[in-house]
Amino acid sequence: MNDRKSATSTPALLAVSLALLAPLPALAQPPASGAPVQAAANSSSKAPNTAAAQQSAMDERALNLFSEVFERVRGQYVEKVTDEQLVKAAINGMLTSLDPHSSFLDTEDFAEMQVQTRGEFGGLGIEVTLENGLVKVISPIDDTPAARAGFQSGDLITQIDGEPVMGLSLKQAVDKMRGPVGQPIKVMVRRGVTEAAPFEVSLTREVIKSQPVKQRAEGNVGYIRITGFSRQTQPGLEKAVQTLQNEIGSKLIGYVVDLRNNPGGLLDQAVSVADSFLDKGNIVSTRARDGVETQRFDATNGDLTKGLPIVVLVNGGSASASEIVAGALQDQHRAVLLGTQTFGKGSVQTIMPLTEQKAMKITTARYYTPSGRSIQALGVTPDITVEQAKLEKVAQAPTRKEADLRGALSNDTVAKPPAGAAPGAPGAPAPVTTKSDAAPGSAEDYQLQRAVDLLVGTSLFRQLPGQAPGQASPSPMVTKTSG
């Protein structure tokens, strides 16, 4: 595509507008009355030439109207505006009127989009949020300047290079912390409510690779959180699975893959993540405006999780690429989806560079899950609907049991427990310890605990002696619901 630059004169503006309008369908306006139509050389070419002439006439009228509006705004608007401002607004208006996801990317937007897709930038290596006007550290990223400097979760950044952060937006503050690799930066940090005074930390910016994948063990369950789909996602997933397999070992009974509040990202990364859990079958397909399939992505042999059961957590913040993964694993009966209805973004956007620093993002296709369903404006319905909730421990009055009754018979099948020992249930399967067991009554992630409970229950059920041969081995979970 040829470079298109902002116009500085009306002829140049018309050239830019013509280039932008040419591929679009004809505007719904009739040709000018009495407009000349060039006669065809023969009857077979008359209709095409007439249609071309009508199209040209309508394009000319549309451009003349646009030019007139442009000139009047430039000459009569209450404040002075530049040609570049007007052209940018016109292009952006054209694109944003199509759907919520098509837009014009100026220099700043294009650069930020490239940072997000690469997952790399020059910075300090901290995940932050905004709290009471100050930048609050969520966590430092391992092996980064912030981690080596000793940043802790909960630290408050009050100044960046001597400038107070109070009054800045989160994006403005983050932009100030990012910068060229090797460039020094000083930040003022306040730690805890008892800290006498803020202290200054000097750091040097390095290349930071975002961490869209994190993992931890929930007892014998591997928990994997995916926050986005950048170039770092698939390598991060492979590392997370390997870490959990090494940490939990043979006691690993399944995985929880958390896609909640994941806004999406790159299509190829979503395909790779879904492929990591599948051995065969379709993952996703796309169709353009004519309904013809334009792309089809199928799984390749090899399952990172070795067939262990998977529960995928989703909610209303799971969108786009997240829904591709969730829909593929659900349709292929590879995972159980737990949570709430997803966002419902079933379209594909293509980035089309206009210059080296500007681009347009336009919706070019819809995507479809393996069963052929479109989730556009509908979302993915989980197999098990679980709303997020906060549990509180309910105080229970002491209850009397058989063993508390005076003269109660002892159990003759077990040895008498030591004094002070809690009664147990000999012969029963040992419970799988999770964080909820370790900290009962604390504020926890209710949906995550239900996912863990599902995997634990499935594992215990398979250990029952009445199971048919082969059922005790790990296999994909299949859940069917009606409606």
Hey, which residues are catalytic here?
320, 331, 345
- Whether residues 84 and 151 share a domain: the answer is no
pLDDT > 90: what percent of the chain?
A: 60
In this structure, the answer to whether residues 158 and 271 fall within a common structural domain is no
Contact 294, 259 (CB under 8 A): no
Query: Quick one: 228 and 202 in the same domain?
Result: no
Q: Assess whether 282 and 363 both reside in one domain.
A: yes
Express each pLDDT in 174-228 by its tens digit: 999 999 999 999 999 999 766 568 999 999 999 988 889 999 999 999 999 999 9
Domain CATH for 194: 2.30.42.10
pLDDT digits (tens, 9 = 90+) for 4-20: 333 334 444 433 343 33
Question: Mean pLDDT in the chain?
Answer: 83
Q: Give the chain's domain count.
A: 3
Decide if pLDDT at 469 tops 90.
no
Q: What is the Cα Rg of the chain in Å?
A: 30
pLDDT for residue 259 is more than 50 = yes
Question: Where is the domain boundary, 385, 403, 437?
Answer: 385
Q: Are residues 351 and 234 in the same domain?
A: yes
Q: Which of 385, 419, 446 is the last residue in one of the domains?
A: 385
- Mean of pLDDT values over 160-164: 96
Regarding whether 287 and 273 lie in a shared domain, the answer is yes
Residue 47 pLDDT class (50, 70, 90 cuts):
low
If asked whether residues 5 and 147 sit together in one domain, one would say: no
State mean pLDDT over 145-156.
91
87 occurs within a structural domain: yes
Do 242 and 195 reside in the same domain of the chain?
A: no
Quick one: average pLDDT of 34-48?
43
Q: Tell me, yes or no, whether 344 and 241 share the same domain.
A: yes
Domain range for 178 is 120-209
Q: Is residue 311 part of a domain?
A: yes
CATH code at 329? 3.90.226.10
Q: Which of 385, 415, 444 is the last residue of a domain?
A: 385
Are residues 248 and 176 part of one domain?
no
Average pLDDT value for residue range 279-298: 97
Residue 151 sits in the same domain as residue 286: no
Phi, psi of 112 (to 5 degrees): -65, -40
Query: Residue 390: what pLDDT?
Result: 74
Residue 32 CA to residue 62 CA, distance in Å, equals: 12
Res 482 pLDDT > 70: no
Give the C-alpha separation, 323 to 316, whole Å. Answer: 10
